[in-house]
Each structure stands twice: as structure tokens, then as C-alpha cells.
Chain A
């Protein structure tokens, strides 16, 4: 059974960057759409972006384009999400999730445990 294990909590200053990792144990990321989803305190789920293997490309929600970079290191079975120019409203729990895509169907069947990123001066 594949598990996604994320790196630990981070405390950052406004304007800095953060890099969160997500390692697959018991399996690989191959042929799966690895995405990052965030959840601000008391708020809903927000898709940030992810790798779409069918098209060999990484897609980002418009809101995060230019500020978020998602990469997958297949050799290490690890995905990374880096966000720059952090603001206080980026304080949230960040989840990685394994996306299963088949034709027009797409859903997240495995999730990491979440990483709290706190941005405060």
C-alpha cells in the first residue's frame, strides 16, 4: 500500500520561500498525477497545481502561477512544492495527493498527512 509522507512543519517570514517534500513509500509516482492542495485555517480545499503525466507537463491554478513550482524526482520517489514570496495568508496546511486520471475522470486516492506552513513576522 502506497503511503505519501510529507516533510515537517515550517515557520517562515513574509517574503521568504518554502519547499515541502512528499515521499512515496511502498510504491512510485510513475504515471500518477501528483498534486498539491492547500487548506487555510477553517477553510476548504484549494488545488494549487500538479503534474499531469498524460501530457507530460505541470499545471498550476492561475492563482499560483509564477509563485509555485512543483517538481517530481522519480529516482527518489519524491515530489516537491516550492512557494516564493510568502504572505501571511499563505498560512495553511499543504497536502500532496496522488491523482488517478483515466480519460475525463480524475480523483485523489492517496493523500499525504499534511504540512503546516506558518507565515508570520
Chain B
């Protein structure tokens, strides 16, 4: 099974700050890594798929990168509405064909 880890588990930043979150896979997953935003009491929302492709309608201040085992998610200029928990996720299309989420990174306003 492929395991996903994220760091940090939480962070505090100010409006306008550049925020970076990392996600690491336990084995090479090429660029098959996705990022979600979840605000309190709401369903997750897809932001980035295949490591760096921005989902339609998602602001360009969000970006992703990386390949293999190491990935990054960046908010170029933190906005108040970006306060949320961010999850990375991978789909393994080999048996048993599972989706795996990272443990999440909570982003708070300083």
C-alpha cells in the first residue's frame, strides 16, 4: 500500500504570505497527486490534479508541483478565505485499486 505524509501538520501565516505544504509518497507515484481544500463544516473541494493542473475556476494563486515521491502545494499570497485544511491524495490503479489521502495540513491566520 502507498502511504502519504504531509508537512507541516499545521501552520500559521499572515495575509499576503507565501504558504507551502509538502506531501510525500512512500513510493514513486509519477505525477498522480491531487490537492483538496476543506473548510470547516464543508465538503472537500478539488484544487489541483495530476500534481500541477489547476481545476477550473480555482484561483491562480494556488499551484502545485513535484513528481515521483515529493510534491509541493503553494498559495502565493494567502487570503482570508484560504483558511482551511489541505489534503493531498493519490489513486493507485493497481490492485486493490485504492484512493489514499494524506493526513492534512491546517492553515490558520496569524
Contact = CB atoms under 8 A, between A and B. Distances in A.
Interface of A: 35, 37, 44-47, 50, 52, 55, 59, 61-62, 95, 97, 99, 101, 103-109, 111-114
B82 interface: no
Contacts of B104: 44-45
Interface of B: 30, 32, 34, 36, 38, 43-46, 49-50, 55, 85, 87, 89, 91, 93, 96-104
Contacts of B91: 99, 101, 104-107
A6 B99 CA distance: 21
B87 A99 contact: no
Which secondary structure dominates chain A's binding surface?
Answer: strand
A91 B36 CA distance: 23
A112 B45 CA distance: 10
- Which 5 residue pairs are nearest across A and B when measured between Cβ atoms? A106-B91, A111-B43, A47-B99, A107-B34, A45-B101
B100 A47 contact: yes
A111 B55 CA distance: 14
A104 B32 contact: yes
A107 B87 contact: no
A108 B55 contact: no
Nearest to B85: A44
